């Protein structure tokens, strides 16, 4: 049995100073060093000593990175992409599609289902579009945007192996009651995004999640709250945050934290193919993307996803706001596990999957363990 000891352990339910954790694929025991009893088969992971341990990150909105994209529709590439993403601390991932042709979306869904059968890091699919509003399409290709269609969603849910867990859509478009009912009946989280909805339209919706809060949505205004204002006003709505400092400036990250609190925010990366590759030219959904100064933009200047690694988001939310490390754990793992009923994730306690990250005292990620298997941090 593997064991880490003499660590500071952030469990997702508080933290333990001078702690130990015994694990294999799952966590067997957690406690204080004062209660530690060595066993003959203990294998001590010395790299963890005197370090900070947090639950593995859960990213429910990530398109690609390291030269790969979910929409490539290639199982070998998708598997490589997922394994590379583990090295930024992500131990649970929802590969995210985008607005494209129906054929391309269906190919991507089939491939995710195939790879998820042997790569357990994939615990769901985020379908972002094509059921969105052209007024706030962002980097989603306009030509493929369509109104919500429950028959199509039902088909895609089946093609995905019933792995779709999150759908971004514009609730001001037609056919919404039946569309939302299908999602709720099949344990899919309805998420407002790329939407120009009014407060009145949103109050009629049953969505309880907002995709990349502030971005690609009707903004707050003193005469109309819009999507952003609605998310702030409704305490039970969970909002995603891209904490790169560009999608949302630090002051507005602080505002969301002040209003929503750590329990109703989820860090996401929304990263695309160019993550990890540095400045240069890339693509998103067949569109040219220019990456410069840690920003990915279309030729028209629109942000085209991010090049944000999750461990950077974890650090940034603490740097840009008054959130502490326990809050960052809440926003990077605990909330996602709760919202998506990932009962084995988001917490370091006996019986949970051995998914965790090792940070040094300067919050530099050292290594990630997924189901007890070590992934070295790539620099």
CA separation for the pair 134, 145 (Å, rounded): 7
Q: With the C-alpha atoms ordered 327, 64, 295, 190, is the resulting torsion angle positive or negative?
A: negative
Cα angle for residues 362, 364, 370 (degrees, 5° grid) = 135
Choice among 270, 311, 312, 355 that is catalytic: 270
Order across the sheet with 189-192: list the strands: 125-128, 164-169, 189-192, 209-210, 238-242, 265-268
295 Rama class: left (phi>0) / alpha (psi -120 to 50) / beta:
beta
Residues for the chain: how many in total?
379
For residues 171 and 194, is the Cβ–Cβ distance under 8 A?
no
Three-class SS state of 313: helix
* Cβ density class 119-153: b for 16+ within 10 Å, e for less: bbbbbbbbbbbbbbbeebbbbbbeebbebbbbebb
Q: Would you give the distance in Å from CA 217 to the centre of its chain? A: 19
Nearest CA among 58, 45, 63, 47 for reference residue 105: 63
Structure tokens at 49: 């000593």
Active-site residue 18, yes or no? no
Integer-rounded Cα radius of gyration of the chain? 20
Helices (H) and strands (E) in the chain, counts: 10, 21
Three-class SS state of 86: helix
Query: Which DSSP state fits 308?
Result: -
List, by residue number, the catalytic residues. 270
């Amino acid at each position: 049995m593997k064991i880490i000891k003499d660590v500071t352990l952030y469990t997702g339910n508080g933290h333990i100073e001078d702690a130990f954790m015994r694990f294999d694929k799952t966590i067997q025991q957690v406690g204080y060093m004062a209660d530690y009893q060595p066993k003959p088969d203990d294998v001590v992971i010395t790299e963890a000593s005197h370090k900070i341990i947090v639950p593995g990150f859960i990213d429910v909105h990530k398109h690609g990175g390291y030269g790969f994209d979910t929409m490539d529709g290639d199982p070998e590439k998708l598997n490589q992409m997922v394994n590379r993403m583990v090295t930024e601390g992500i131990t649970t991932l929802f590969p995210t599609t985008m607005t494209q042709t129906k054929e391309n979306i269906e190919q991507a869904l089939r491939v995710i289902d195939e790879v998820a059968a042997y790569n357990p890091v994939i615990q769901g699919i985020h379908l972002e579009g094509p059921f969105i509003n052209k007024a706030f399409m962002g980097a989603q290709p306009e030509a493929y945007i369509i109104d919500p269609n429950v028959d199509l969603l039902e088909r895609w849910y089946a093609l995905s192996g019933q792995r779709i867990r999150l759908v971004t859509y514009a609730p001001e478009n037609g056919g919404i009651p039946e569309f939302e009912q299908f999602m709720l009946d099949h344990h899919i989280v309805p998420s407002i995004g790329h939407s120009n909805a009014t407060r009145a339209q949103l109050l009629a919706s049953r969505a309880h999640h907002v995709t990349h809060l502030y971005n690609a949505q009707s903004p707050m205004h003193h005469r109309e709250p819009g999507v952003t204002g609605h998310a702030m006003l409704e305490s039970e709505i969970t909002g995603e945050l891209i904490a790169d400092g560009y999608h949302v400036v630090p002051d507005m990250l602080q505002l969301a934290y002040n209003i929503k609190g750590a329990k109703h925010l989820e860090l996401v990366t929304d990263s695309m193919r160019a993550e990890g590759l540095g400045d240069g030219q890339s693509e998103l959904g067949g569109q040219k993307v220019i990456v410069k100064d840690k920003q990915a933009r279309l030729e028209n200047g629109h942000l085209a996803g991010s090049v944000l690694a999750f461990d950077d988001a974890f650090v940034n939310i603490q740097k840009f706001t008054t959130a502490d490390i326990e809050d960052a754990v809440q926003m990077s793992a605990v909330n996602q596990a709760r919202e998506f009923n990932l009962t084995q994730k988001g917490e370091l306690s006996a019986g949970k999957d051995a998914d965790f990250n090792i940070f040094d005292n300067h919050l530099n990620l050292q290594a990630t363990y997924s189901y007890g298997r070590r992934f070295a941090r790539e620099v």
